[in-house]
Amino acid sequence: MQYLEQVQRGIDFIEARLDQEEVPFEAIAQAAGLSAWHFQRIFKAITHETLKGYIRSRRLAHACASLVGTKRRILDIALLAGYDSQESFTRAFKHQHGVTPGEFRRARALRQEHKKVSIDAAYLAHLQTGVVTEPVFRHWPARRYVGLQTAFYGVCSDKNDLALRIPPLWDAFLRRLPEVACPVPGVCYGLVDQDPRDAERLSYCSAIEVDAIERIPDGMRVVAIEAQTYAVFRHVGAPEQLDNTVNYIYSNWLHTAGWRHTQSADIECYGPDYLPGTDTCVTEYAIPVSR
């Protein structure tokens, strides 16, 4: 339940600042006591909305109330809603409501708008469908990986470009896999972490574990991950549907299992049972956890 309370704190933080020109993701996450990436991941899994999309919709709803209930200039309302001009605000408003802000104000008809999300156990239970098996817990020693890295916007962002960035990265890495010295054979890994330069963006590394660091192929990098315990979930089926399992982990299991994410990298594991194109294709998704 603690994660639900943390997400609710983040939502309350947003609501108290809808009149500010900017609500940084990092500040929202800090108010919730989570990293920016994990707050966005949990928020999306629970609400099925991106954080940016939720803020935009709430600001438009707040703008509707300001148009009807105050005498503020439309330009001032636009700026407070996060738009850089009255024109861009008008376009977004008309796309959402079918009328301009001025027409909406003259009609003085405040209709039902996008509501503030309220997070509680009943809401979470409503979202839960199907049955997902419990994870296997594994303590992995410190490891080093070598691979190709890219940055991308994931499902938690309106800029989601995962499908454009990750498959080409894997194609390039697998072609160059023979260049990696001292590999531990049998399993390849996808290392998923937050990009420190952009709270909305993730870092992804297609990699293989290595026994030693002798030489690093051009364009590749070394990723070191400290020893820790992982909850490893088994995803059976199309790799393209892996996000369904990840959503379950973040929207359900993590709230009820008595474990907390350490905010280190998540790890996708592609082993001998990874057989794309078959119904029995297995991908393992591991999250670092502590009690």
Determine if the pTM surpasses 0.85: no
pLDDT of residue 108: 60
| One-letter amino acid of 113 | E
> How far is residue 32's CA from residue 11's CA, in Å, rounded to a whole number?
9
For the chain, the domains span 2-107, 136-290
CATH of 2-107, one of 1.10.10.60, 3.40.50.360, 3.40.630.30, 1.10.287.70: 1.10.10.60
Of 10-19, 41-50, 188-197, 223-232, the least confident: 41-50
Q: Give me the architecture of the 136-290 domain, per CATH.
A: Alpha-Beta Barrel (3.20)
Which residues touch 165 (CB under 8 Å, ≥6 apart)?
A: 150, 151, 152, 204
Whether residue 210 contacts residue 145, with contact meaning beta carbons closer than 8 Å, is answered with yes
pLDDT of residue 122: 55
Does position 240 have pLDDT exceeding 60, yes or no? yes
- Percent of the chain past pLDDT 70, that is, above it, reads 90
Other C-beta atoms within 10 Å of 56: how many? 19
